[in-house]
Every structure is written in C-alpha cells, then in structure tokens.
C-alpha cells in the first residue's frame, strides 16, 4: 500500500499538481495561502463538490448524467417558491427533505429510463434535462428570487466561523453547509468501499455482462445511482440557495461540464469501473483552484471556458491513453509468450 504503490496512485499525482499550482499562485499573487482565500476556496467547493460525489457514482457505474444541474435548479425554485407562497416558518430541514424527495423522483425517472431503454444515458438525460428546464422556466416561470423564506434566509446568515485577512482586510465566512459536503463524501465513500452495492457499482461499470453473471442486479444498480444523483441534486439546489442567499436561473450554467471534468480529473474512468471518492474530491479542489484563481493567474475570465475544456481533454486523454497502452502491452505479452512456446 505504501511506498512503491504510492507512485502508482492517481491521487498522488493530483496532490502534487495541486501543491505545485498552489505554490505558483502564491508566488505570482502572494494571495493564495491567506485565511480568507482558503475559506473562500472551500466555500466555493461545497456545491460542485456535493454534485461531483453523486456523479462519481454514476460515472463509476459506466453511465453519465447531464441532467443533475437542472434537477438542482428545479428543486431550488420549486421549494423556495412554494415556501415563499405559504410563508413557511418551520425548521429549514423540511426544505432539504422536500427538495431531496423531488430530486429522488426526477432521478428515479432517469434511472428507470436508463435501465429500461438501454440507450446511451447521455441522450436519455439530455432529454430529461430539457424537460426539467422546461418545467422550471415554463411551468414555474422562474428567473430570480431575491427574498428568501425566513428559515432559509436564517440559514444563509448563519456561519460556522469567519476569518478576516489582517493585511487586506478582506473577510470570508464558512457556511454551515460545509457539513453536508463532508457528510455526502463520507456516505459515498462508505457505500463504494464497504457495501455490496458499492462493489456492484464498480462491477457494472467494469463489465455489465460479467456483473450480471456474477449475480448483481444490474438494473437495480443503474436505477440506484441515478436516484442517488437525483437526491444529491435536490439537496444541492437548496444548499446553493443557503450559500448564496438568493435563487438565480443561471446558477448552474455549464455545471454538467465542469463537474464531469472534475470527476474525470480525479481519476475516475469515464467508461466506468474505476475511480476513488478521494480522487473526486481532489479533482473538484483542483478545478476550483484553477477557476477561482484565473484572474490571479493572469487569464482573462472570457477564456475560462477554454481553460475548462483544455483541462477536461488533458485529463481524459491521459487516462484514455493509459488504457490504450495497457491493452497494447497485454496484446504484445500474449504474442511474446506465444513466440516463446513456439521456440
């Protein structure tokens, strides 16, 4: 596990990249290792981090989901709007519960369609995401909600702790929802590592036919990962509201790309079957470090989309090429063995 194997681990390299990048940003701007920047970084990781944990499971199972930002958006507006209308005053917990339930239904829809139709899940979720978007914009007529219901506003104003940078006077505070982020990573880590279900998710991603023969219920696993993603999406929607203190239709613009990129950067194989939850977390960290510090790095914001693309392509190319090489090695080994036997 230690020493030699460390060099083989994907996470090891991501940590090195993160460390080097941190030093570069620090050297250029002198603003990286400041208390408020680090808190800001963690704060900006909450929402993408939670989504990445859910998507990590979907990707390991060999599927893809592009509808989760829209699930989050729909849940965010549906719950906030409803609570505003009925002037809800109870505990904020209920908001998360309802959003989670709506997300569950939407995720279940994705999962059932994926298990039933057996078509590329990208196309299925692309279809459902336009439905979700249509419901949010058309039926709910949502664009901006600036005044939140009292319990949610209260949560938005509550912080775990605040820090102030002595030199610049800039302050930053840590929202309570960081606990959700930690909780979701613990849950996903536990499921993936210590339960039969988690093993099944890896197995289905590796080879669905083999997994079925080994006795795993492939359809159940497909439905589970999408449903879990839906629940996480719903909860994330409300989390976003409590972090930013308002609802906006463009909160999750382009999130499907960024999150997929983060998970893939974290070492999960996009074709399914491998990846670790720690890697996913590191992937999100790296992603956010770059996008938060683009200006500090001297890259204009207009080129941030371009940078995301480069990152994704670099990340996936590396892992894809590695497996191509591995295949070639296996093929050449077989050939060599054959020659030896002939000799």
Partner 1 sequence: MGKKKRFDVKSLLNISSNNKKLLGMLLLVVIVLSIATGGSFAGIGQFKLIAYLFPEMGVLALGMMLAMVSGGIDLTVIAVADLAGILSCLFMKAIMPADAAMPVQILVLLVTLLFALAIGAVCGLFTGILIARVGVPAMVATLGASDIILGIAVGITNGSSIKELPPILCRVVNFELFGLIPGTTIVFIICAALVAFLLNMTATGFKIYMIGSNATASEYSGSDNKKILTLTYMISGMLSAVAGLLMCGHFNSARSDFGKSYLTPAILICVLAGVNPNGGVGKVSGIVLAVIILQSLSSGFAMFPSISDYYKNLIWGLVLIGIMIMNVVTAKKGQNK
From the list 53, 102, 104, 124, which residue makes contact with partner 1 (rule: CB under 8 A)?
124
From the list 51, 57, 99, 129, which residue makes contact with partner 1 (rule: CB under 8 A)?
129
Residue 135 CA from chain centroid, whole number: 23
- SS3 (DSSP) at 268: coil
From the list 6, 123, 164, 330, which residue makes contact with partner 1 (rule: CB under 8 A)?
123
Shortest reach from residue 109's CB to partner 1, in Å: 9
From the list 144, 182, 196, 313, which residue makes contact with partner 1 (rule: CB under 8 A)?
313
From the list 47, 264, 268, 282, which residue makes contact with partner 1 (rule: CB under 8 A)?
264
Q: Does 309 bind partner 1 (CB under 8 A)?
A: yes
Q: Does 329 bind partner 1 (CB under 8 A)?
A: no
Q: Does 135 bind partner 1 (CB under 8 A)?
A: yes
From the list 53, 102, 113, 191, which residue makes contact with partner 1 (rule: CB under 8 A)?
113
Q: Does 117 bind partner 1 (CB under 8 A)?
A: yes
Q: Does 261 bind partner 1 (CB under 8 A)?
A: yes
- What gap in Å lies between CA 273 and CA 161, rounded to an integer? 39
Q: Does 116 bind partner 1 (CB under 8 A)?
A: yes
Shortest reach from residue 54's CB to partner 1, in Å: 18
Task: Determine phi and psi for 247, rounding to 5 degrees.
Answer: -115, 135
- What gap in Å lies between CA 71 and CA 235, rounded to an integer? 10
**What are the residues facing 175 on neighbouring strands?**
159
Judged by CB, which is closer to partner 1: 110, or 239?
Answer: 110
Q: What 3 state SS string does 269-289 have?
A: CCCCCCCCHHHHHHHHHHHHH
Judged by CB, which is closer to partner 1: 63, or 292?
Answer: 63
- What gap in Å lies between CA 94 and CA 78, rounded to an integer? 13
Shortest reach from residue 316's CB to partner 1, in Å: 5
Judged by CB, which is closer to partner 1: 19, or 330?
Answer: 330
Shortest reach from residue 302's CB to partner 1, in Å: 5
Q: Does 304 bind partner 1 (CB under 8 A)?
A: yes
- SS3 (DSSP) at 99: helix
- Which residues from 56-95 bind partner 1, rule CB under 8 A? 64
Q: What is the dihedral of CA 182, 47, 128, 187, to 10 degrees?
A: 0
Q: Does 145 bind partner 1 (CB under 8 A)?
A: no
Shortest reach from residue 269's CB to partner 1, in Å: 10
Q: Is 273 left (phi over 0), alpha (psi -120 to 50) or beta?
A: left
Q: Does 270 bind partner 1 (CB under 8 A)?
A: yes
Task: Give me the sign of the Cα torsion angle 35, 40, 43, 47.
Answer: negative
Q: Which residue has the tokens 């879990």?
A: 228
Q: Which residue has the tokens 């139709």?
A: 117
Q: Do residues 73 and 252 make contact, with C-beta atoms less than 8 angstroms apart? A: yes
**What are the residues facing 173 on neighbouring strands?**
162
Query: Taking each helix axis from N to C terminus, what angle separates 178-194 and 35-60, rounded to the nearest 10 degrees?
Result: 30
Residues that bind partner 1 (CB under 8 A): 64, 113, 116-120, 122-124, 126-135, 137-139, 141, 257, 260-261, 264, 270-271, 300, 302-310, 312-313, 316-317, 320-321, 323-324
């Amino acid at each position: 596990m230690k020493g030699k194997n460390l060099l083989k681990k994907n996470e090891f390299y991501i940590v090195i990249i993160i460390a080097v990048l941190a030093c570069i940003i620090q050297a250029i701007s002198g603003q990286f290792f400041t208390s408020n920047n680090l808190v800001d970084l963690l704060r900006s990781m909450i929402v993408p981090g939670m989504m990445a944990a859910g998507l990590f499971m979907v990707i390991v199972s060999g599927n893809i989901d592009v509808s989760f930002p829209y699930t989050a958006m729909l849940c965010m507006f549906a719950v906030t709007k409803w609570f505003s209308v009925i002037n809800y005053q109870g505990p904020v917990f209920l908001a998360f519960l309802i959003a989670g339930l709506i997300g569950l239904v939407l995720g279940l829809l994705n999962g059932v369609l994926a298990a039933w139709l057996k078509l590329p899940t990208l196309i299925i979720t692309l279809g459902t995401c336009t439905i979700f978007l249509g419901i949010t914009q058309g039926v709910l007529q949502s664009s901006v909600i600036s005044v939140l219901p009292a319990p949610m506003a209260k949560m938005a104003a509550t912080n775990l702790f605040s820090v102030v940078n002595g030199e610049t006077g800039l302050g930053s505070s840590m929202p309570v929802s960081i606990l959700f982020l930690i909780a979701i990573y613990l849950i996903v880590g536990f499921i993936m590592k210590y339960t039969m279900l988690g093993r099944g998710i890896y197995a289905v991603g590796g080879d669905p036919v083999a997994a079925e023969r080994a006795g795993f219920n492939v359809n159940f696993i497909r439905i589970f990962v999408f449903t879990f993603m839906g629940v996480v999406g719903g909860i994330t929607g409300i989390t976003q509201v409590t972090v930013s203190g308002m609802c906006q239709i463009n909160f999750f613009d382009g999130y499907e790309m960024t999150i997929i990129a983060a998970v893939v950067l974290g070492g999960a194989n996009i074709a399914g079957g491998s990846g670790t939850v720690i890697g996913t977390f590191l992937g999100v960290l790296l992603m956010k470090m770059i996008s938060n510090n683009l200006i500090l790095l001297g890259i204009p914001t207009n080129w941030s989309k371009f940078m995301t693309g480069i990152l994704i392509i670099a990340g996936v190319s590396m892992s894809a090429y590695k497996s191509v090489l591995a295949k070639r090695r296996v093929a050449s080994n077989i050939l060599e063995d054959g020659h030896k036997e002939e000799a």
